[in-house]
Structure 1
Amino acid sequence: MTPDASPAARALAPRANLTTADNPWPLRLLSSKIDEYVARMTHVWVEGQVVQLNRRPGAGMQFLTLRDTEADMSLNVAVYSRVVAAIETGLGAPLEVGARVVVHARPTFWAKRGSLQLQADDIRPVGVGDLLARIEALRRVLAAEGLFDASRKRPLPFLPRCVGLVCGRQAKAEDDVVVNARARWPGIPFEIREVAVQGANAVREVSAAVRELDAIEHVDVIVVARGGGAVEDLLPFSDEGLVRAAAACRTPLVSAIGHETDCPLLDLVADYRASTPTDAARRVVPDLAQETVGLDGARERLRSWLGTLLEREQSGLDQLRARPVMADPGTMVRERSAEVEAGVERVRRALAQTLALAGADLRAEHARLTALSPQAVLDRGYAILRKPGGGLVTSAQDVRKGDLLEGVLASGRLVAQVVGATKPAPGPGTD
């Protein structure tokens, strides 16, 4: 059986997972299956943002397009005119594009068009209190991740090569930043990205513009600026996707959203929070006139300091030159030379006196030594007798007849032979 065969001539697969290339479902069968599945779904509460509202005066139904607040997807909603009228009566104002609502609806599938839409029987605007509570819950989550820590803040450049500006189309915030910045520093270049700053496309367009400017090398600082507005108007700048895009930005980022009392989450993650777009202009570029005055003042202070330093050094030099020694430098040499000569003379006299005393002491010691010397005894005619063994002869008993003796005289020596010796007389008391 081939796909060209008529569906009536072949048995169709009872379930989608049983279809094959040779036995496919016809499109009308798939649509009817989807219609049957969707028809079994119950009512559901759905939250979104109104991005399109087609009013049909006198008609029983109104049609609007509801967009997801954090994803690029939308769905058509059909709602009874009386429901819309009741909402607008409660609000005291017409339902407008950009409003955040919750819808009680039942999904329906149009088989002929193959499209899904919601059939709503109740629409309720999301209150400001609810929105602020959600923003606060998100703030706590992001703070716990450290996205708002002061350690992540980068200093802004003193004078950027180029300023990136993200602002609304033909918005006054653009003039506030550009005009005030160029009034402070004429000719400062800008890279400007005009985007939607409220409504359904704001988050996507602002995030894309921040990423684009961050990728430009010569852009040294990025300013995201928007004028004031209601809390609902500033909601895109508290969107988690935009906040994370700002946190991932490598270029220093300045948030200038709304007025000073407004504080969207982008203010917390930015490197600097400006109270207004005008304040952002004052912060990202210096004031040329003020810097010129400061430079002139610094130059004058430097000139004054150098003048004082030169005067002080000149005064010291004049005082030094006024000293007598500087008038006749030889005076110092002559005074020192006289002192050296006097010192040498004192040393010479002290040395001579010391040598004289030492010589007298030497002569006295020499006289004492001479008097005690055996040579002096010999000089008086005495002699010293020594035996051949070297011992001295001190008694006649030390020699015998025939012994040879050496005689040491005052001058020279002799050899003698003992021919006789007389024993010493016994002393008193000797037997």
Structure 2
Amino acid sequence: MSGEPTTRTSEPSTAENPWPVRTVARKIADWIHRLGSVWVEGQVTQVSARPGTATAFLTLRDPSADVSMTVTCPARLLRSVEPPLRDGASVVVHAKPTFFLGRGTLSLRANDIRAVGIGELLARIERLRRLLAAEGLFAAERKRKLPFLPRGIGLITGRASAAEHDVLVNAQSRWPAAAFQVINTAVQGPQAVPQIIRALSRLDADPAVDVIVIARGGGSVEDLLPFSDEALCRAVAAAGTPVVSAIGHEPDSPLLDHVADLRCSTPTDAGKRIVPDVREETARVHQLRDRARRALHGWVDTQCRLLDQLRSRPSLADPLGPVDRRAAEVETQLERGRRAILATLSREQTALASARARLTALGPSATLARGYAVVQYTDSAGNLKVLRSVSEVAEGTPLRVRVTDGAVTAVARGQDT
């Protein structure tokens, strides 16, 4: 490439003095090329090594995030890897970041590629298992109970797979009205985890789905690696809908089994556990109805016997008899009360007449009736007072003389001895 004026590239770029594309690309390349080599781990996708070419191409993908980078390496290096690389294989690559000026792309130039062995994969899964367990994602108290009869069932599985057939056939044979919403995804390889996570998010957001089943048939440790992926495990733990894990066969136990709300040993087992058996439930309904009928009949019989006992008691056998007897007693008591009151009144009237006679005999009226009179005068205060002595009044004092049938006035004229 042709050289550039030093003054133009040494000055900051502005709208009046912009840098050419080649200058920006070269500066980026210079900065990237100063980086050292790194060891990178990821999953291999899109391996391309055409016969007769010296350079092979592959894509290295992060299994826990939607991030990938292009890797170039000598074709002989790719052919020397044992076992041969295939899509989905986990590898460790020693490479140097390289920026291609012509296309403006970044890639890794590899000089060593090492396949990750089963032992290393299992060790990493075990380390992740301990991490998730320490965070409480395996705790029994966070697992939710499946609904007795879900309105809708979400199923995430491979297209036209035996796992899909086993779940659908077994569930619908137990409950023919079971409604499924099936989403087919990749269940192994580099695309499995992002597709399953997207399907899980879609079903979790659907209010008609009450339970989600993630199902896959058996396979090797490498085939089941997506179901021990950290991103998938965390997505299942964060889901608001109960999740059932039905991965592989009985011995298989990916990390998804521990995070899910229910672990089923096989897809067939999942089909049997997510819905009740209509025949068993029908028999249980008939049994409960029979028990309810017997209980009701027993209760009615008990109440009838109790009513018979109550009706045989004297108070209910002859309810008016006690009333009549009490009415007669009331009449007797009324008559006795009436006689007692009349006797008391008679005694009191006699006593009152006797007292009146005594009072009359001792009172002033009787004395006046015998010819006596009561003389009164008015004192200085204007009050009438009984004249008891001739010395109490002077001559000419007005007097009031009371006799038996009235009173007359008089004036004092003198004193007689």
Q: TM-score if structure 1 supplies the norm length?
A: 0.76
116, 122, 125: which one pairs with 1:132? 125
Residue 223 of structure 1: how far off its partner (Å): 0.9
1: CA distance between counterparts of 2:249 and 2:61?
A: 28
1: CA distance between counterparts of 2:93 and 2:191?
A: 21
Q: Say which SS state the counterpart of residue 293 (structure 1) adopts.
A: helix
- Return the letter of the residue paired with 1:119: A
Is the contact between residue 13 and residue 23 of structure 1 (CA under 8 Å) also seen in structure 2?
no
2: CA distance between counterparts of 1:362 and 1:262?
A: 119
Aligned to 1:429: none
Aligned to 2:201: 211
- Return the letter of the residue paired with 1:312: T
Q: Note closer, same or farther for the CA distance 1:123–1:246 as it changes in structure 2 (3 Å cut).
A: same
2: CA distance between counterparts of 1:136 and 1:416?
A: 139
Is the contact between residue 89 and residue 115 of structure 2 (CA under 8 Å) also seen in structure 1?
no
1: CA distance between counterparts of 2:278 and 2:266?
A: 21
2: CA distance between counterparts of 1:35 and 1:418?
A: 160
Deviates more, 1:110-119 or 1:17-26: 17-26
Aligned to 2:404: 410
Residue 47 of structure 1: how far off its partner (Å): 0.8
2: CA distance between counterparts of 1:348 and 1:355?
A: 11
Please give the residue correspondences for 1:364-403 in structure 2 after superposition, counting only pairs within 5 Å. 364-389=354-379, 390-399=384-393
1:75 aligns to 2:70 (yes or no): yes
Q: Deviations over 1:196-232 (max 9, x none)?
A: 1222111111012112323444322211122344554
Q: Deviations over 1:144-189 (max 9, x none)?
A: xxx6677765543322222110012333322332222112212312
Is the contact between residue 129 and residue 255 of structure 2 (CA under 8 Å) also seen in structure 1?
no
| Identity over aligned pairs, percent | 44
- Return the letter of the residue paired with 2:156: V
Residue 102 of structure 1: how far off its partner (Å): 1.0
2: CA distance between counterparts of 1:402 and 1:35?
A: 159
112, 118, 123: which one pairs with 2:109? 118
Q: Note closer, same or farther for the CA distance 1:258–1:369 as it changes in structure 2 (3 Å cut).
A: farther
2: CA distance between counterparts of 1:76 and 1:203?
A: 21
Deviates more, 1:312-321 or 1:289-298: 312-321
Q: Say which SS state the counterpart of residue 305 (structure 1) adopts.
A: helix
Is the contact between residue 12 and residue 23 of structure 1 (CA under 8 Å) also seen in structure 2?
no
Aligned to 1:290: 280
Q: Say which SS state the counterpart of residue 386 (structure 2) adopts.
A: coil
The answer for unaligned runs of 5 or more in structure 1 is: 1-6, 424-431
Is the contact between residue 84 and residue 123 of structure 1 (CA under 8 Å) also seen in structure 2?
no
Residue 352 of structure 1: how far off its partner (Å): 1.9
Q: Note closer, same or farther for the CA distance 1:102–1:377 as it changes in structure 2 (3 Å cut).
A: same
Residue 421 of structure 1: how far off its partner (Å): 3.5
Aligned to 1:308: 298
Is the contact between residue 224 and residue 254 of structure 2 (CA under 8 Å) also seen in structure 1?
yes
1:221 aligns to 2:211 (yes or no): yes
Q: Deviations over 1:327-349 (max 9, x none)?
A: 66543442332233123223212
Residue 39 of structure 1: how far off its partner (Å): 5.8
1: CA distance between counterparts of 2:302 and 2:61?
A: 79
Please give the residue correspondences for 1:160-171 in structure 2 after superposition, counting only pairs within 5 Å. 160-171=150-161
Is the contact between residue 188 and residue 223 of structure 2 (CA under 8 Å) also seen in structure 1?
yes
2: CA distance between counterparts of 1:36 and 1:395?
A: 157
Please give the residue correspondences for 1:193-212 in structure 2 after superposition, counting only pairs within 5 Å. 193-212=183-202
- Return the letter of the residue paired with 2:335: E
2: CA distance between counterparts of 1:273 and 1:96?
A: 31
1: CA distance between counterparts of 2:104 and 2:168?
A: 50
- Return the letter of the residue paired with 2:121: V
Deviates more, 1:69-78 or 1:411-420: 411-420
- Return the letter of the residue paired with 2:404: A
142, 146, 157: which one pairs with 2:147? 157
Is the contact between residue 257 and residue 275 of structure 1 (CA under 8 Å) also seen in structure 2?
yes
Q: Say which SS state the counterpart of residue 66 (structure 1) adopts.
A: strand
Deviates more, 1:333-342 or 1:198-207: 333-342
Q: Say which SS state the counterpart of residue 226 (structure 2) adopts.
A: helix
1: CA distance between counterparts of 2:27 and 2:399?
A: 163
Q: Note closer, same or farther for the CA distance 1:230–1:378 as it changes in structure 2 (3 Å cut).
A: farther
Residue 96 of structure 1: how far off its partner (Å): 4.6
Aligned to 1:427: none
Q: Note closer, same or farther for the CA distance 1:59–1:307 as it changes in structure 2 (3 Å cut).
A: same
Is the contact between residue 138 and residue 240 of structure 1 (CA under 8 Å) also seen in structure 2?
no
Is the contact between residue 13 and residue 25 of structure 1 (CA under 8 Å) also seen in structure 2?
no
Q: How many residues align?
A: 406
Q: Deviations over 1:263-284 (max 9, x none)?
A: 5454455444444433433332
Q: Note closer, same or farther for the CA distance 1:131–1:395 as it changes in structure 2 (3 Å cut).
A: same
